Chain A
Amino acid sequence: MRNSEATHVGMEIEASGRGSSGNGTTTLPGLSPLSETLWREKANNAEIIGDVSARLTWKDLTVMVTLSNGETQNVLEGLTGYAEPGTFTALMGPSGSGKSTLLDALSSRLAANAFLSGTILLNGRKEKLSFGTAAYVTQDDNLIGTLTVRETISYSARLRLPDKMPWSDKRALVESTIVAMGLQDCADTVIGNWHLRGISGGEKRRVSIALEILMRPRLLFLDEPTSGLDSASAFFVTQTLRALARDGRTVIASIHQPSSEVFELFDQLYLLSGGKTVYFGQASEAYEFFAQAGFPCPALRNPSDHFLRCINSDFDKVKATLKGSMKLRFEGSDDPLDRITTAEAIRTLIDYYRTSQHSYAAREKVDNISKVKGTVLEAGGSEASFLMQSYTLTKRSFTNMSRDFGYYWLRLVIYIVVTVCIGTIYLNVGTGYNSILARGSCASFVFGFVTFMSIGGFPSFVEDMKVFQRERLNGHYGVTAFVLSNTLSAMPFLILITFLSGTICYFMVRLHPGFWHYLFFVLCLYASVTVVESLMMAIASIVPNFLMGIIIGAGIQGIFMLVSGYFRLPHDIPKPVWRYPMSYISFHFWALQGQYQNDLRGLIFDNQTPDLPKIPGEYILEKVFQIDVNRSKWIDLSVIFSMIVIYRIIFFIMIKINEDVTPWVRGYMARRRMQQKSGTQHIAPDVLTQSPSLRTFVSSHTK
């Protein structure tokens, strides 16, 4: 059985007339040159691989979700089907019919409150598809807008392909992927973001697919790859998917309202309505099936439109409402659907399918396939080392930052403008009596407001996080690599910004002269800006949206500023809450303590009237600003630097919590609720109920 399958696929591909690949390696049977590259190494390792294709079967698949009130609802009911290598399976159905749930169930990405029963077998084995075993292309394309198509793909290649693979091979792989996805024409065009005009929606979708097929997965899931695309782009995307399938891959995609041309490209069709199978079999035979069931497709109609029209119960509602407004003027009732409701039609079709030969054939096929224990497919995740991942990510992130005008360049401009303003207002502040307070407020303004403006980079950072979540979901790299690379790539920009603006401010205001004083001032500014940056990152990992992030970030900084010792002197701050934990947590506090010392110590100020004695800086520090003069300013600075580390660790922990703990808690709660409601009902302790958690993490963050 298996051999015949393999040769069948092989023949099909040979029939399609493909030559051997450019890098001159022996081709494994059943794999096109596009697919063989990665598996070649394993073959050399003398492992018996044989057929590395993926055969997916599912039998009596039922998915139940618990709602917040403890009620349960069956989203999918007793579905049986299979997907074979070399075929392109389309899941179709009206909105809410469960096609996305089926896709999620098959790719083990169900939300934590969904429970699954039935068997899903991959190559005849029960397998947990964790991050990256199967490629999953989500509906929205979260890509870095400033990179070109080629860069995007080659960075992804470096992130995931093994280190020991030579760069020429990687490049060949990247180029072949670009060609495979038909992206040659736009390979050197940037992807585009809100202020950069880039490639079209269809091209973006193909880039997303290209990223996933880079690791040559045998199994490819796609969630509505054509939604939002015009007919030509949708046709192109589907055509590419079909070509990928013909290379011996198993491709499963949910598709919403395909046009006639797109529909003609499907091999297998899985039609769902209300979580039940309406049809499963060859797409070309569905036409006959509907005719036999008593719903023939009228001439000059797109079959898929007809199928969806028959099984979309929303049409009942539409008709009822139209009748209610007494405006219904349906002309010509040769359509059987005008006589019966779609609810009835759905029932008839489901019953008809259950007893049809398609249903029997499917069950038989599923049994046959699942008898054969095939190859265990390895998780496809990342094969690059941690160092390689960190290096590539840093480089990519740096490229993005240097090209995205809104990320740092805009801020650099704003910082320079603001510091020039400050510089002119406090121009040449001097050592007069009034300059004592002026120096103090200058420092507090610089460390309070100027650092505050780091919030401006938040939107770009949120974009980064989206890309991270997509890539993390597909197992491209680890959290540590991400946090580390982000820190490293931002460093040169922050140094540039703070040194430029710090220098302007220092020399215009003429703060305490001396190189070390200058260095301290700039370092302190750098540290403060980096702390704000890290704080905002930690916030971005928790809050659901952009606005909340800005509000919370501004609120926290406002409180920190209030207790920093400028608005209220340190000794006057009420002890219980504000003084003891808060002012020591506030980085403004440490920055001001350090900068006051840096600026005032050693200076001598005029008194109110010339006849009174001059005031030494130390006296002002102790008596007026109430600064702890026993602590060195360098200690204050090092406290701020340690805060950077702490916030980065918090950021790391937050991501981890969101990934691992939250879904577990949610799943537990859902189970508890269900048990309380249904008493003794048995919950299948299936491994598959433990779904990878990132999906819920992502969905809870984007909803």
Chain B
Amino acid sequence: MMNMEIEGGSSGYSGLDRGSFLAWEDLRVVLPNFGKGPTKRLLNGLNGYAEPGRIMAIMGPSGSGKSTLLDALAGRLSKNVVMTGNVLLNGKKKSLGYGGVAYVTQEDVLLGTLTVKETIRYSAQLRLPTRMSKEELNSIVEGTIIEMGLQECADRLIGNWHLRGISGGEKKRLSIGLEILTRPRLLFLDEPTSGLDSASAFFVVQTLRNVARDGRTVISSIHQPSSEVFALFDDLFLLSGGQTVYFGEATMALEFFAEAGFPCPRKRNPSDHFLRCINSDFDIVTATLKGSQRIPDVPNSSDPFMNLATAEIKARLVEKYKRSTYARSAKDRIQELSTDEGFETATQSGSQASWWKQLSTLTRRSFMNMCRDVGYYWLRIIIYIIVSICVGTIYFDVGYSYTSILARGACGAFISGFMTFMSIGGFPSFVEEMKVFYRERLNGYYGVAAYILANFLSSFPFLVAVALTTSTITYNMVKFRPGIMHYVFFTLNIYSCISVIESLMMVVASLVPNFLMGIITGAGVIGIMMMTSGFFRLLSDLPKPVWRYPISYISYGSWAIQGSYKNDLLGLEFDPLIPGDPKLSGDYIITHMLGIELDHSKWWDLAALFIILICYRLLFFTVLKFKERASPLFQTLYAKRTIQQLEKRPSFRKMPSFPSQRHQPLHSLSSQDGLNSPLH
């Protein structure tokens, strides 16, 4: 059954009439370990299929390979593993790349300052075809909200570290809603219920079931579902140590376990029972408990297999499954599906919107985010005003005495050096935005260029506001050289400094893994630039080899300071050190006391700053592009090498399963949180 409300408005779609049949045969994933230690098998010859209209749960204890299986099916395996076997979509072998399938990750990366409806609408505008009318778009947005049961919180903010927003379950449903906007036929979810309480988890899975009933194929990994949640799944793929323990209808699993000699006790949730049977961690637990001699009161009565190691149970089940009718019928069905070719689903690549549409939507969204996030620019504007007033009062009416020469220099250096330094304050908000970018980019929503340009455009008004307030306050309080052009130059100089730092921090953010490293690296780079800017050591005195020649020319600081000295001092006259001597002219001071050549005008200095600004933006673009381009390249190289290795060594060493990195910190480290968010 299709959802009438939603389908009514979307006449422009293609490939809706057919569902996606996904089948996988003899799927193996290995983690090669060149020379060092044995190769690890993550998945070991799995067979299975998923049909439209049904929802499949991939279950297993931690480290059993459920995420690996999900990633393998969605074509998102990380670069360091090698996959063999077939994954067939509607009978055709195809690689599902960027944006080909909808994949809902475990964590919800959303912009906290937008409301639920805005998030969905912006996402729709970014990806749905540009030719779609406003009404059509609106009806799709509304339909998605209703389908995901988000009516009540549609106008509430999502919330971030300082803003209280919607609940975890609502966030998860919103993430799912974003993925189903473009009506994908295939939906993958990685542990959609982790971290949710039973009611929210139930709601999420119930919604997924509805999504499936609309003719979509839903595959989800799930960890320890409660009884209600487990009852909602149609199919079950039970994994342990990369091997199939059971694949088939969820309701038949109980029978399978009973046949194998492990019936589920009456007062027990089937999914708890299955996991209890195949989770080899329980062996360790039992062994340790026995070791500490605390076993006496373990409730033996209710545990029929307390005396049997789970490893043994698991091995029995795997054997049993291999010879069962379930395995045979699954094989037959896969055979059927793989020969049943001919249905070509038009898989649209990530976004169907035009580049301009993407740019304008991104700009508006980013601007909205900056407006609402206090930490992004508003806080900084306030800090700038306070610091400007401090500077203004300290250098109040600086005058033309001999000491004011140094004071003017120091004041200019302080403004272009330290005050720009405070741009680091926006770093956390920027990192948050980058996370959203990475997720959306991974799903192929828009291009890197559109993102960078949109960011530049949306931040422009704020940066201008920061520069204007700072320059107006300090210029008028300190009484720099009068004249409108001098004021304009001063403002432009500050603006370009702040923008350069901003761009620098973006480059840093795209390179470093976490917040703290970002701040340290950023501060380090800015520190070096300040040192070579010509204030702490005169440019002419700087040692030539490294500091003078490449660095002081790359440094934004030296250009900014040269410009501001020229702007401020040229044409003024100052009192000499000893009263009675002739007055000191501005150009004498600049050439003799400050060691700056007067061979180019201040406007060239400003131009140099703008060139540096553009360079940083280009660098940012290159870094992002390189990260994307380079990774597939490495992947193929890596795979080739591994296959060679595999040919050399016919057999792998027998190894127990390998715990996946992703689920290791089930209980997240507080320190890690502290670095990701400024909350702690």
Contact = CB atoms under 8 A, between A and B. Distances in A.
Interface of A: 15-18, 94-95, 140-142, 145, 179-182, 184-185, 192-194, 200-201, 204-205, 227-233, 235-236, 239-240, 242-243, 246, 256-257, 259-261, 264-265, 287, 297, 299-303, 305-306, 308-309, 312, 314-315, 317-318, 321-322, 324-325, 327, 329, 406, 414, 418, 421-422, 424-427, 434, 437-438, 441-442, 444-445, 449, 453, 456, 459, 462-463, 466, 545-548, 550-551, 554-555, 558-559, 561-563, 566-569, 571-574, 577-578, 702
A228 B667 contact: yes
B599 interface: no
B403 to A, nearest CB: 6
Given A550-B519, A551-B425, A558-B418, A201 B665 contact: yes
Interface string B424-464: 01001000000000000000000000000000000000000
A236 B269 contact: no
Contacts of A569: 403, 406-407
B151 A302 contact: no
Interface in B501-537: 516, 519-520, 523-524, 527-528, 530-532, 535-537
A295 to B, nearest CB: 14
B270 interface: yes
B678 A305 contact: no
B268 A300 contact: yes
A554 to B, nearest CB: 8
Contacts of B395: 568
B670 A230 contact: no
Given A259-B224, A315-B199, A546-B680, A182 B288 contact: yes
Nearest to A263: B267
User: Chain B contact residues: over half helix, strand or loop, or mixed?
Assistant: helix
Interface string B266-291: 11111011011001011011001101
A263 to B, nearest CB: 9
Interface stretch (B100-108, B386-394, B564-572): B386-394
B337 interface: no
Most buried by B among A141, A233, A246, A422: A233
Contacts of B209: 329
A561 B206 CA distance: 60
B666 A424 contact: no
Contact of A567 (B206, B414, B546): B414
A324 B383 contact: no
Contact of A568 (B275, B279, B410): B410
A462 B272 CA distance: 39
User: Which among A15, A16, A546, A548 has the greatest number of chain B C-beta atoms within 10 A?
Assistant: A546
Contacts of A425: 531-532, 536-537, 542-543, 547
Contacts of A243: 294, 297
Given A229-B667, A230-B223, 8 more contacts: A194-B671, A201-B666, A204-B667, A231-B275, A297-B267, A426-B537, A559-B390, A567-B413
Contacts of A442: 536-537
A546 B674 contact: yes
Interface residues of B, number: 109
Contacts of B268: 260, 300-302
B660 interface: no
A456 B520 contact: yes
Contact of A545 (B148, B538, B542, B680): B680
29 contacts: A16-B297, A180-B294, A193-B669, A193-B671, A194-B669, A200-B664, A231-B279, A260-B265, A260-B267, A264-B299, A264-B302, A300-B254, A300-B270, A301-B269, A302-B268, A314-B197, A327-B207, A329-B209, A406-B516, A418-B524, A437-B538, A438-B538, A444-B536, A459-B675, A462-B680, A463-B674, A547-B428, A571-B403, A574-B396
A325 B396 contact: no
B396 A230 contact: no
B197 A94 contact: yes
A182 B292 contact: yes
B628 to A, nearest CB: 27
A414 B524 CA distance: 9
A201 B281 CA distance: 13
Contact of A301 (B227, B375, B391, B542): B227
B289 A236 contact: yes
A322 B666 contact: no
B203 interface: yes
A261 B207 CA distance: 29
B202 interface: yes
A257 B678 contact: no
A336 to B, nearest CB: 14
Interface of B: 3, 61-62, 146-149, 151-152, 197-200, 202-203, 206-207, 209-210, 213, 223-224, 226-228, 254, 264-270, 272-273, 275-276, 279, 281-282, 284-285, 288-289, 291-294, 296-299, 302-303, 375, 383, 387, 390-391, 393-396, 403-404, 406-407, 410-411, 413-414, 418, 422, 425, 428, 516, 519-520, 523-524, 527-528, 530-532, 535-538, 541-543, 546-547, 595, 664-672, 674-675, 678-680
B213 A329 contact: yes
Contacts of A444: 536
A180 B532 CA distance: 61
B423 to A, nearest CB: 12
B672 A194 contact: yes
Contact of B199 (A256, A312, A453, A572): A312
A141 B666 CA distance: 13
A563 B269 contact: no
A546 to B, nearest CB: 6
A182 B176 CA distance: 41
A501 to B, nearest CB: 14
A200 to B, nearest CB: 8
Nearest to A242: B297
Nearest to A428: B543
Nearest to A140: B670
B292 to A, nearest CB: 5
A322 B203 contact: yes
Given A312-B198, A418-B527, A574-B396, A259 B272 contact: yes
A244 B195 CA distance: 28
Contact of A260 (B272, B297, B390, B403): B272
A141 B667 CA distance: 10
Given A312-B198, A574-B393, A434 B680 contact: no
A427 B537 CA distance: 11
Given A327-B147, A434-B541, A306 B411 contact: no
B680 A702 contact: yes
A642 B190 CA distance: 57
Given A256-B197, A302-B267, A325-B146, A16 B227 contact: no
B394 A441 contact: no
A568 B394 contact: yes
A305 B227 contact: yes
B273 A240 contact: no
A236 B272 CA distance: 15
A568 B399 CA distance: 13
B198 A145 contact: no
State the 9 A-B residue pairs at the shortest beta-carbon distance, nearest first: A547-B678, A201-B667, A232-B281, A314-B199, A228-B667, A302-B269, A321-B149, A243-B294, A182-B288
Contacts of A318: 149, 199-200, 202-203, 206
Contacts of B289: 182, 236, 239
A574 B299 contact: no
Given A180-B292, A182-B288, A441-B536, A324 B197 contact: no
B299 A299 contact: no
A562 B394 CA distance: 8
Nearest to B273: A260
Contacts of A566: 410
B298 A239 contact: yes
Contacts of B375: 547
Contacts of B393: 574, 577-578
A250 B534 CA distance: 70
Among B284, B391, B536, the most chain A Cβ lie within 10 Å of the Cβ of B536
